[in-house]
Amino acid sequence: MKVAINTCTHGGYAHYRGTKLTAEAFFRDAAEAGYDGVELGGGERFLGTPTQCLRRLAKCGLAVAAYDTSVTYNPHQPNTRAYQADIRYGQAVGATVLMTCGGFMYWHRRNTYPGDYDLFADNLGRATDYAARHGMTLAFHPHCGSIVETAAETRQMLRRLPELKLCVDIAHLEAAGEDARRYCRQFRRQIVYTHIKDFSHRHNSFIELGRGDGKLDVAACVGELARAKYDGWLTVELDRGEKEFRRVGLTALESARRCRRYLRTKCGV
Q: Over 90: is that where the pLDDT of 111 sits?
A: no
84, 130 Cβ separation under 8 angstroms: yes
Average pLDDT value over all residues in the chain = 96
pLDDT tens-digit profile of 15-42?
999 999 999 999 999 999 999 999 999 9
Quote the percentage of the chain above a pLDDT of 70.
Answer: 100
pLDDT tens-digit profile of 115-168?
999 999 999 999 999 999 999 999 999 999 999 999 999 999 999 999 999 999
Q: With bands split at pLDDT 50, 70 and 90, how would you rate the model's confidence at 58? A: very high
Least Cα distance to 163 among 120, 200, 124 occurs for 124
Domain boundaries, the chain: 2-266
The pLDDT value given to residue 146: 94
Q: With bands split at pLDDT 50, 70 and 90, how would you rate the model's confidence at 108? A: confident
The pLDDT value given to residue 240: 87
Quote the percentage of the chain above a pLDDT of 90.
Answer: 95
Q: Over 80: is that where the pLDDT of 110 sits?
A: no
Which amino acid does the sequence have at 151? A
> Cα Rg for the chain, rounded, in angstroms?
18
Out of 3.30.830.10, 3.30.1490.20, 3.20.20.150, 3.20.20.70, select the CATH number for domain 2-266: 3.20.20.150
Which amino acid does the sequence have at 194? T
pLDDT tens-digit profile of 67-80?
999 999 999 999 99
- Global confidence as pTM: 0.97
